[in-house]
Amino acid sequence: MNETKLDLLNYYVLERIRNMSGFPQFLGMARELLPELVRLRRQIHQNPELGFEEHRTARLVAETLRELNIEVTEGIAKTGVVGLLKGQEDGRVVALRADMDALPLEEKTGLPFASRNQGVMHACGHDAHTAMLLGAAMLLSQVRDRLPGRVKFIFQPCEESPPGGAQGMIQEGVLDKPKVGGIFGLHVNPLMPAGTIGLKEGTVMAAADMFKLVIKGKGGHGATPHHTVDSIVVAAHVIQALQTIPSRYVDPVKPVVLSIGTIHGGTKSNIIAGEVKLSGTVRTLDPSLRERIPELMEKMIKGVSSAFGAECSFEYERGFPPVVNHSQMVELVRRAAAKIVGSKRCFPIKQPSMGGEDFAYYVQRVPGAFFHLGVAKKEGPNYPWHHPQFDIAEEALPVGAAILAQIAVDFLRRQGLNEESN
């Protein structure tokens, strides 16, 4: 951000402070930042990086924070960045988190700022998350003399791929020195109208586990299948059998998702494959069910493979635990968001998502809340997360930045729990 942009931001902030008691209205300030937030988001979008490879994005984040006179620490958990904004006194410490990594996906949006990196795309909105948290840093840096505490801006690598970057950030002390009292994060939602907020107490996202499976048969000529053990046929039966676990072995009122994501086998049309490799994911909400699923899968896989005379190997890996929001922190977010967009644009999320998020590790350690920001475009179509044509309504960027800033202020001032929102 150049000096002209900073001078302009200072002007708008100071004018609001002179004419208001307490903190300024962050949404008005954030709207003035829309061109800068769009520029940042598009720059990140155009240069996506996979997990633990976010070097360019991390440099941009660090440079922007330093221009705001925020203390910066780089290289946390390889490519993570943390900014620490010190207020007028030590007081409480609140953390705001954004993820920076992209997905291994070829972009097909046709946008003028589409990905320049072949096979890599910001198809989950992490470019927007990063831009909005930088926006919150811009807002809060201008009122630092009124902050009764400190704000940590956590820019995390590798959320998309387990084991993720959150555990590494935590292990390297991101929640300590100074100790964080509460943490908050948001995720864009292309299924909600732009600028609306979705909130839920308790479990808001599922546990996300992974598995790998190898089926070993006996290869041979495609014209003489009776001399072989066709691993592709075995794999087909295993896939069908695994789908009976959610439908026939689990209580119908307990959600579980079992999806095969990859299948690789064979080399030529007239050769029966001797080996097939598969991988997939399992999503659960119930802890006891999460413990039970691997046993059911292994029993099913071995039974089917054995029936066809094939051998198999099965590996199951625990991924992210469920994201469990703390009720008081959800209430704080609700009231802070209502100050920005009004209570009528804050909606309860009725059912948890079966998606996974390593934000779960943060809220296992400190009270916090994870919420959704609507980014659906008025003129569709709106594509879901992880789609090659995923995009967002950029007018929602100032809303996200303003809400994050308001949450930080309310947490530090111990507001939002025992008072009505404006």
User: Which domain CATH number covers 301?
Assistant: 3.30.70.360
Under 8 Å between Cβ of 96 and 152:
yes
Q: How many domains does the chain have?
A: 2
236 and 149 belong to one structural domain:
no
196 and 293 belong to one structural domain:
no
Where do the H-state alpha helices sit in 68-120? none
Q: Does some domain include residue 419?
A: no
3-state secondary structure 224-251: CHHHCECHHHHHHHHHHHHCHHHHHHCC
First to last CA, the chain: 32
Q: Residue for token digits 């006194």? A: 89
Residue 2: the pLDDT is 59
Q: Residue for token digits 């387990």? A: 162
Under 8 Å between Cβ of 14 and 21:
no
140 and 240 belong to one structural domain:
no
Binding residue per annotation — 237? no
101 and 21 belong to one structural domain:
yes
Find the farthest-apart pair of alpha carbons in the chain and give their distance in angstroms, rounded. 87
Binding residue per annotation — 346? no
Q: Choose the most confident range, by mean pLDDT, from 14-18, 122-126, 143-147.
A: 122-126
Domain boundary at 277, 297, 320, which?
320
Q: Averaged over 143-168, what is the pLDDT?
A: 95
355 and 256 belong to one structural domain:
no
- Phi then psi for 344, rounded to 5 degrees? -70, -15
- What is the C-alpha separation between 74 and 103, in angstroms, rounded? 22
Q: What is the pTM of this model?
A: 0.89
Binding residue per annotation — 126? yes
Q: Show the domain range for 58.
A: 3-206+322-412
250 and 283 belong to one structural domain:
yes
Binding residue per annotation — 291? no
Q: Averaged over 365-381, what is the pLDDT?
A: 96
Under 8 Å between Cβ of 155 and 142:
no
144 and 235 belong to one structural domain:
no
Q: Does some domain include residue 159?
A: yes
- What is the C-alpha separation between 335 and 307, in angstroms, rounded? 59
302 and 370 belong to one structural domain:
no
Q: Does some domain include residue 354?
A: yes
Q: Residue for token digits 């839920």? A: 200
Q: What percent of the chain has pLDDT over 70?
A: 92
Binding residue per annotation — 312? no
337 and 368 belong to one structural domain:
yes
DSSP string, 334-381: HHHHHHHH-GGGEEE--S-BS---THHHHHHHS-EEEEEEEEE-SSS-
235 and 195 belong to one structural domain:
no
pLDDT band at 88 (very low <50, low <70, confident <90, very high): confident
- What is the C-alpha separation between 181 and 167, in angstroms, rounded? 18
Beta strands in 9-166 (DSSP E): 71-76, 80-86, 92-99, 149-156
86 and 197 belong to one structural domain:
yes
CATH number at residue 153: 3.40.630.10
155 and 171 belong to one structural domain:
yes
Question: Given a cut of 60, is residue 21 above it in pLDDT?
Answer: no
Q: Tell me the pLDDT of the chain averaged across its residues.
A: 93
**Tens-place pLDDT, residues 210-239:** 999 999 999 999 999 999 999 999 999 999
